[in-house]
Amino acid sequence: MIPSPPAPPVDSDSDWVARVAARILLQDPRLDEREVRHIVSSLGKYPDWRALEPDAAAAKVFQPPESGSSP
């Protein structure tokens, strides 16, 4: 199996938001794009979220929350 190439680096907050939102919408296209971007933009203000690569952040959105954790 040939590994997929690494994703290009995230250059800006707006790039991070766009990439996370795009991945979320791929997982659930029924969601409203503007609402997803708004939510992702809010999440990106938390350093622990912003430190995640877009794929990881999008996957985390669909995980059940851990008790006592931040958004």
Give per-residue pLDDT as tens, 1-30: 666 556 666 778 999 999 999 999 999 999
Place of tokens 């939102």: 21
Read off the pLDDT of residues 57-66 as tens digits, 9 standing for 90 and up: 999 999 998 7
Q: What is the pLDDT of residue 65?
A: 83
Report if residue 43 sits inside a domain: yes
User: Number of structural domains, the chain?
Assistant: 1
Kindly tell me the burial class for residue 16, based on how many C-beta atoms sit within 10 Å of its own C-beta (0-12, 13-18, 19 or more): buried
Domain that holds residue 37: 13-61
Q: How far is CA 8 from CA 12, 16, 53, in A?
A: 12, 11, 10
User: What's the whole-model pTM score?
Assistant: 0.79
Report if residue 6 sits inside a domain: no
- Six token digits for residue 50: 């912003």
Read off the pLDDT of residues 26-40 as tens digits, 9 standing for 90 and up: 999 999 999 999 999
Report yes or no: 46 and 71 within 8 Å, Cβ to Cβ: yes
